[in-house]
Amino acid sequence: MRLRADSAGAIRLDGLLTEPVWREATPIADFRQREPLEGEVATERTEVRVLFAGDVLYVGITAYDRQPQQIVSRILARDKVMEAEFDGRPKFGGDDAVAILFDPFHDHRNGFVFATNPNGAEFDALLTDEGKEFNVDWRGIWHVSAKRTPEGWSAEFAIPFRTLRYPADGGEWGFNVYRMIRRKNEEVLWQSWRRGNEGFARVSRAGHLEGLTGLPRPGANVDVKPYVLGGGNEEIDAGMKSRSGVSHVGADLKSEVRPGLVLDLSYNTDFAQIEVDDQQVNLTRFSLFFPEKREFFLENSGIFGFGAPGRFEPPPFLAFFSRRIGINADSGEVPLLGGGRLTGRVGGQTVGILSAFTAAKYGDPRTAFNVARVKRDVGGAGYVGAMLVDRRNSETANTVGGLDWSLWPTGALNLQGFAARTSTEGDGGEDMAWRVAADYRARNGSASLSHLMVGPDAEADAGFVTRTGIRSTSGNFRYVFRPGRFNLRQISASLSPDLVTGTDGRRQDWNINVGTSPEWNTADDIAFFYSFGRSRVDEDFFLADTVLVPAGDYGNTTFTIFGSTGPARPVVLNVDANLRRTFGGTVNSVTAGLSATPGMHLGFKVEYTRSDASLPNGSFVAHLVSFRSTYAFTTRLSLNSLLQYNNLDRQVSANVRLNYIFRPGSDIFLVLNEERGSESAVWDPRSRGVRLKVTYLARL
């Protein structure tokens, strides 16, 4: 697509493409279905126009609909229009919506994503390495407005060029558009609409924007974002109350030191506005894994990905995991004194350097974290990279270094892997971790194989390691049938064998999983899985910190069912049941959830999980209840709350956050936290706190 440049006439961002300059721009309109009928012309017409004026890039969308009264648009809150699937790839929520993708460096790997719905709700994200990571927590500076019309709906995006990061000489960009027609669950794209090895996340299959010449270059190109914070805490112990005040000042600085290379500096970093983690009951012998939510670590975070990702389980090995910085897993938050990151593109390389320093707390001394990363482009979408991670303080030091790669011999076959060496001073030693894997995706099926080794002395103190001293071989084979009857869209069948041995050759675990999952054109889906195998437990452990599981060899059988009603419905039901015979008894978990959007301002989700175990050494029943709500007064003022109850910890907790974006990039946060529960009564107060935080973005 050739871009139209125009500096005459201002565009009024009202969601209606009524200005003459829009009519003069040549639209793209040849959209095709990915679902339900691959390659067929979209059932509803879409027109997209792109132009730029001054320092702003504009995108105009006209989403025609012959039944405009059936358009689904219930979302107003920010960051709800799309979400990441279980494999990290993007998918739409429950509304009609449209998403646009820019690949300014045309590296065929990474992209910026902006999306909206007929209400003008805002969503932005970063795509890394062809969908290896879909970072939905990134937040850029831009504007959007949308309106429903008699012909359907339309939207206008206004994106400052400095938000996008682009090469100095301009040229050709990667570009794609993705639309969801929700009542039909119809997915349409301008490019990359084939199933299997394509889709919106495949940046290398996007179309092109031409005519990007003479683009503006900001002068200093520095964003300064100071903050002030005040508040207080109250702790209650044995009926005694202690109160303390809290006050902080700090600042973040962002500068594009050269086109595409961004420097982030942070002083006295604070994360008071971040939502608390969802509580979980650990029904395994391994550590739980919680995602990163803190803004400082999110932009370009995919650059620092190195290791073996997990799908339905925690990652087996990550050289770097940013939650190791400033969070003590056993005790709580550790003050982050400051840090800096340099990330982006330099020629045919993607580079990342990170340094951060945490204060002494919980018996740990002041600690420094340093990470260096480089990835060299290979072929159309692959790379070969290197990584060095170092965590050290006055008592110990740990270093992880290695090489990794992702290569595409064909458009459907991806070969990937890594080899890393770890070294720990003091009582530790040196060891290796490595992985090789192949992933093949065809139109109606996929196959993957991988082999992983983590040495017995491998340590990644700034990363994440599920367990050491293992060799793991796993596969997944999946085929999709499309019967075209009973309103079924597809039925997938899968086979997943896994074998884990110790590095000494002794068998640890083996498992064979078979499953099937039908999906209807209504987007209702359900999945059934059955697995059987054996597990060896080498050391005693306490399940959910409650029941002793002795070392031994155990047979395993598991029946799993999960499903959900279609997201277009005003009330969405989901269930996830996992019934296991293991550890000489039974371990079960059943989760049921209900999500509702009574109107575009209000949305909520209530979820209940019952976990129970009956083992030779004891039993327990755990109840987790959570209630999450969002009230969006406008696209810039929202109230979010999360209430949780955990009977094992005898704890009730509440996290309430009011966020007002008084100008793009500048926020006021009011955050309330409270915990209750004791041995005698679940409603006894434990602690409470309040924070008022104000940030102000100055763009120089």
The tens digit of pLDDT for each residue in 646-664 reads: 998 889 999 999 999 999 8
First to last CA, the chain: 32
- Whether the pLDDT of residue 482 is over 50: the answer is yes
Residues 6+ apart with CB under 8 A from 390: 368, 369, 370, 371, 397, 398, 399, 400, 462
Question: In the numeric block, which tokens belong to residue 120?
Answer: 């003008």
Task: Report helix, strand or coil for 194.
Answer: coil
Which range (127-136, 480-489, 531-540, 683-692) has the least confidence? 127-136
439, 414 contact by CB (below 8 A): yes
**Per-residue confidence (pLDDT) for residue 221, from 0 to 100:** 82
What number of other Cβ atoms are within 10 A of residue 367's Cβ?
Answer: 25
pLDDT, tens digit, 9 for 90 and up, residues 377-409: 998 889 999 999 999 998 899 999 999 999 999
Please state, rounded to an integer, the average pLDDT across all residues of the chain. 91
**Mean pLDDT along residues 481-506:** 94
185, 566 contact by CB (below 8 A): yes
Question: In the numeric block, which tokens belong to residue 351?
Answer: 């580079």
**Mean pLDDT along residues 308-324:** 87
Question: In the numeric block, which tokens belong to residue 652?
Answer: 């009730």
| Banded model confidence at residue 5, pLDDT cuts 50, 70, 90 | low
**Mean pLDDT along residues 503-524:** 95
**Per-residue confidence (pLDDT) for residue 364, from 0 to 100:** 83
**DSSP category for residue 522:** T
Q: Where does residue 395 fall: left (phi above 0), alpha (psi -120 to 50 degrees), or beta otherwise? A: alpha
**Per-residue confidence (pLDDT) for residue 3, from 0 to 100:** 57
pLDDT, tens digit, 9 for 90 and up, residues 186-242: 999 999 999 988 999 999 999 999 888 888 876 678 999 999 999 999 988 777 888
- Whether the pLDDT of residue 7 is over 90: the answer is no
**Per-residue confidence (pLDDT) for residue 218, from 0 to 100:** 67
**Mean pLDDT along residues 363-383:** 92
**Mean pLDDT along residues 236-265:** 87
Question: In the numeric block, which tokens belong to residue 328?
Answer: 């003590």
Question: In the numeric block, which tokens belong to residue 310?
Answer: 């997990």
Residues 6+ apart with CB under 8 A from 427: none
Q: Give the whole-angstrom CA distance, residue 392 versus residue 428.
A: 13
In DSSP terms, which residues pair with 317 in a beta bridge?
A: 308, 465
122, 188 contact by CB (below 8 A): no
CA distances from residue 558 to 323, 495, 622, 657 in whole angstroms, order as listed: 32, 14, 19, 39
Q: Cα dihedral sign for 130, 131, 137, 143? A: positive
pLDDT, tens digit, 9 for 90 and up, residues 331-365: 678 888 888 999 988 888 999 999 999 988 888 89
Strand pairing class (97-103; 111-116): antiparallel
**Per-residue confidence (pLDDT) for residue 179, from 0 to 100:** 98
- Please give the model's pTM, rounded to 2 decimal places: 0.89
Question: In the numeric block, which tokens belong to residue 639?
Answer: 């109230």
Name the percent of the chain in helix, strand, coil, to the closest 5. 5, 60, 35
Domain ranges of the chain: 4-212, 221-250+636-700, 260-271+294-439+453-466
The CATH code of the domain at 4-212 is 2.60.40.1190
CA distances from residue 509 to 474, 500, 536 in whole angstroms, order as listed: 11, 5, 6
| Banded model confidence at residue 4, pLDDT cuts 50, 70, 90 | low
pLDDT, tens digit, 9 for 90 and up, residues 349-358: 999 999 999 9
The residue whose two tokens read 């194989």 is: 449
Q: Give the whole-angstrom CA distance, residue 178 versus residue 32.
A: 10
Strand pairing class (123-128; 637-646): unpaired
Residues 6+ apart with CB under 8 A from 193: 31, 32, 33, 34, 38, 39
**Per-residue confidence (pLDDT) for residue 8, from 0 to 100:** 44
What number of other Cβ atoms are within 10 A of residue 545's Cβ?
Answer: 11
Nearest by Cα to 33 from 198, 225, 164, 171:
198
